[in-house]
Copies of this chain bind each other. A is one copy, B any other.
Amino acid sequence: MNKNLKVFIIDLDGVVFQGNNLIPFADKAIQKLKSKGKIPLFLTNNSTTSSIHLAQKLLSMGIECSHSEIMTSGIAAAEFIKTTKVDNEMGIFVCGTNDLRSELTKLDIKISSPDTCGALLVGQNPNFTYDDLKHSVWALQRKIPFIACNMDPNFPSENGRLMPGCGSLVSAISTASKCIVNYEIGKPNPRILDLLLSKHRLNKKDCIIIGDNKNSDIELALQVNIPSVFINSNPSQIISKDYFEAKSLFEAVELLL
Q: How far is the CA of A138 from the CA of B163 in the complex (A)?
A: 8
Which of the residues B127, B154, B173, B178 comes within 8 Å of A130, measured between beta carbons?
B127
Size category of the A interface is 20 to 34
The answer to whether A173 and B168 touch across the interface, beta carbons within 8 angstroms, is yes
Q: Choose from B127, B138, B171, B178 the contact partner of A172 (Cβ within 8 Å).
A: B171
Cα distance, A137 to B169, chains bound together (Å)? 13
Cα A85 to Cα B125 with chains together (Å): 36
If over half of A's interface residues share one DSSP class (helix, strand or loop), that class is named, otherwise mixed; here it is helix
Partner of A164, one of B153, B164, B172: B172
Query: Is A162 a contact of B138 with CB atoms below 8 Å?
Result: yes
A134 to B153, Cβ gap below 8 A? no
Query: CA A169 – CA B175 in complex, angstroms?
Result: 9
A130 contacts B125, C-beta separation under 8 Å = yes
Contact in complex: A165, B154 (CB < 8 Å) = no
Q: Are B164 and A133 in contact (CB under 8 A)?
A: yes
Interface membership of A176, Cβ < 8 A: yes
A141, B153: Cα distance in complex, Å? 14
Least CB separation from A174: chain B residue: B171
Given A165-B176, A167-B175, answer yes or no on A128-B137 (Cβ-Cβ < 8 Å).
no
> Is residue A232 within 8 Å, beta carbon to beta carbon, of the partner chain?
no
**Are A138 and B164 in contact, with the CB atoms below 8 A?**
no
Task: Knowing A175-B153, A176-B154, A178-B153 are in contact, say whether A128-B133 is a contact too (CB < 8 A).
Answer: yes
Shortest beta-carbon distance from A165 to chain B in Å: 7
Residue of B nearest to A157 (CB): B134
Whether a CB of chain B sits under 8 angstroms from the CB of A102 is no
Are A164 and B130 touching (Cβ within 8 A)?
Answer: yes
Residue of B nearest to A165 (CB): B176
- Contact in complex: B137, A154 (CB < 8 Å): yes
Closest Cβ of chain B to A182, distance in Å, is: 18
- Determine the chain B residues whose CB is within 8 A of the CB of A134 once the complex forms: 163-164
A84 within 8 A of B: no
**What residues of chain B lie closer than 8 Å to A240, measured between beta carbons?**
none
* For the complex of A and B, 3 pairs with smallest distance between CB atoms: A164-B176, A168-B176, A172-B172
A interface residues, Cβ below 8 angstroms from B? 125-130, 133-134, 137-138, 141, 153-154, 160-165, 167-178
Q: A141-B161, A168-B176, A170-B175 are in contact. List 11 more A-B contacts (CB 8 A).
A: A127-B129, A137-B154, A153-B178, A154-B177, A162-B176, A162-B177, A163-B176, A164-B175, A168-B171, A171-B174, A171-B175
